[in-house]
C-alpha cells in the first residue's frame, strides 16, 4: 500500500499480513463507505442529530463501564496477591509453631537433666568425686549446656514474637481481602449497570437506525484517525519491533475476532487490558493487569518513538489500552458487543505510550 494514502484497512486479511511483517510501509486508511439513505418507508423519527446524541451517550456509558472494569480488575488482582500472602503467612506460622514446639521440648529436657544433676553444691561433688579431672570436665559441659539453654530460650522468645507478627499480618491481609471483595462487588455492579443502560438504549433503535449509528461511529473514528495521520506522526515511525514485541503482536493477531467480555483475559474472550497483559505474558514479560496500572508502572515512550508491541493508553483516565502493531494501526478489544479488532491508532484520544520491554 502507498505510504501517502490515508484510510481504514481494506480488509482484515491484508492487515493481518501487514501486522505479521511489521516492517511494511504506511497502511492506507480509506474513508468509510456512505450508508444509503433510508427509504421513505423507513423510520425517520430519529434524526442524524438525535443519533449523534445517542452515539455520544453510548460512548459515555461504555467509557464508564471501562473505568468500572478497571476497578474490578484491580480489586481482583489485589485479592489474588492478598490471598497468596495469607497462604505464605499461614505456612510460616505452621512452620514456626513446629519449631517452637521442638525448642520447648529441648528446653524441657535440658531443665530435667539439670534438675537431676543439680541437687548437690559443686564443693560436695568435688569431694565425692573419684576423679577430680572428670568433675572439672563435667562442670565445663554443664556450663556449655547452660549457655545452650539460654540461647534456646532467646530463640524461643524471638520465634514467639515472629509468630505474633505473622498473625497480625495475616489479620491485616484478611481485612484488606474483605475490603477488596466489597470493592470488586461494587465495581461489578457499576459495570453491569452501565452496560445494561447502553444495551437498553441501543435496543430502542430500529434496524436502519442501528446501521446509521454504526456508520456515525465509523465516521467519528475515521475523522480522528485522519487528523492524527495528517499531523505527520507516521513520517518518522520506522522502528521495528523487538523480539518480545513481535511475539506480543503475534499473540494479539491470533485473537482477532474473539468477543469482548469485561474482566476477561482469555483464551476465548478479553477486555482491553486482559488482551494486552496476556499478549505480553505470551512474550515472557508479566505486566500489570489493568490499563491504569500499565500506564502508571511501565516506562513511558514518546509517540514519535513507539514501535510495534508498545501499548497505547487512551483517555485522560487511562481507561483503555491497545497494542500498537505498526503502520498506524492497533489491535484492541473495544467494548461490550464488539470483538478483538484492528483499528486506527489515532481513532481515540491518546493519553500516551508505554513500553513493557523497555
Between CA 206 and CA 199 the distance in angstroms is 13
Which helix (H) or strand (E) segment holds residue 229: the answer is helix 207-230
Between CA 281 and CA 356 the distance in angstroms is 10
Specify the 3-state DSSP secondary structure of 202.
helix
Q: 261 — phi, psi (to 5°)?
A: -145, 125
State yes or no: is 332 an active-site residue.
yes
State yes or no: is 175 an active-site residue.
no
State yes or no: is 272 an active-site residue.
yes
DSSP state letters, 8-42? B-S-HHHHHHHHHH----PPP-BPPPPPPPPPTTS
End-to-end CA distance of the chain: 30
Specify the 3-state DSSP secondary structure of 329.
strand
Q: How many Cα neighbours within 13 Å face the side chain of 248?
A: 33
β-strand pairing of 350-355 with 311-314: antiparallel
CA 35 to chain centre: 40
Give Cβ neighbours of residue 284 (< 8 Å, ≥ 6 apart): 244, 247
β-strand pairing of 320-326 with 299-301: unpaired
Per DSSP, the chain holds a count of helices (H) and strands (E) of 8, 6
Between CA 325 and CA 10 the distance in angstroms is 16
Of residues 17, 63, 175, 272, which has the active-site annotation?
272
Cβ-contact 258, 339 below 8 angstroms: yes
Cβ-contact 7, 30 below 8 angstroms: yes
Sheet holding 320-326, edge to edge: 299-301, 350-355, 311-314, 320-326, 329-332, 341-344
Active site residue ranges:
272, 320, 332
Amino acid at each position: 500500500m502507498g505510504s501517502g494514502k490515508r484510510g481504514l484497512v481494506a480488509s482484515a486479511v491484508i492487515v493481518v499480513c501487514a501486522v505479521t511483517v511489521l516492517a511494511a510501509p504506511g497502511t492506507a486508511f480509506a474513508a468509510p463507505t456512505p450508508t444509503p439513505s433510508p427509504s421513505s418507508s423507513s423510520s425517520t423519527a430519529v434524526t442524524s442529530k438525535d443519533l449523534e446524541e445517542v452515539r455520544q451517550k453510548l460512548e459515555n456509558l461504555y467509557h464508564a463501564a471501562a473505568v468500572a472494569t478497571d476497578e474490578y480488575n484491580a480489586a481482583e488482582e489485589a485479592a489474588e496477591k492478598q490471598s497468596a500472602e495469607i497462604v505464605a503467612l499461614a505456612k510460616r506460622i505452621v512452620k514456626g509453631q513446629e519449631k517452637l514446639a521442638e525448642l520447648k521440648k529441648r528446653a524441657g529436657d535440658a531443665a530435667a537433666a539439670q534438675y537431676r544433676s543439680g541437687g548437690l553444691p559443686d564443693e560436695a561433688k568435688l569431694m565425692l568425686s573419684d576423679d577430680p579431672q572428670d568433675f572439672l570436665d563435667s562442670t565445663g559441659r554443664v556450663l556449655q549446656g547452660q549457655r545452650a539453654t539460654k540461647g534456646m530460650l532467646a530463640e524461643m522468645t524471638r520465634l514467639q514474637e515472629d509468630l505474633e507478627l505473622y498473625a497480625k499480618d495475616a489479620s491485616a491481609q484478611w481485612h484488606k481481602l474483605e475490603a477488596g471483595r466489597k470493592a470488586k462487588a461494587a465495581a461489578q455492579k457499576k459495570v453491569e449497570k452501565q452496560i445494561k443502560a447502553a444495551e437498553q438504549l441501543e435496543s430502542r433503535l430500529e434496524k436502519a437506525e442501528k446501521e446509521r449509528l454504526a456508520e456515525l461511529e465509523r465516521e467519528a473514528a475515521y475523522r480522528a484517525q485522519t487528523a492524527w495521520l495528517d499531523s505527520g506522526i507516521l513520517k518518522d515511525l520506522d522502528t521495528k519491533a523487538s523480539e518480545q514485541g513481535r511475539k506480543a503482536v503475534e499473540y494479539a493477531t491470533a485473537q482477532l475476532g474473539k468477543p469482548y467480555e469485561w474482566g476477561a483475559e482469555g483464551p476465548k474472550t478479553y477486555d482491553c487490558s486482559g488482551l494486552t497483559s496476556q499478549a505480553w505474558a505470551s512474550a515472557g514479560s508479566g505486566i500489570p493487569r489493568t490499563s491504569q496500572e500499565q500506564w502508571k508502572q511501565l516506562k513511558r515512550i514518546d509517540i514519535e518513538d513507539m514501535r510495534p508491541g508498545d501499548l497505547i493508553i487512551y483517555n485522560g483516565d487511562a481507561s483503555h489500552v491497545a497494542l500498537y502493531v505498526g503502520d498506524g494501526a492497533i489491535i484492541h478489544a473495544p467494548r461490550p458487543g464488539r470483538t478483538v479488532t484492528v483499528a486506527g491508532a489515532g481513532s481515540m484520544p491518546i493519553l500516551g505510550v508505554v513500553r513493557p520491554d523497555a
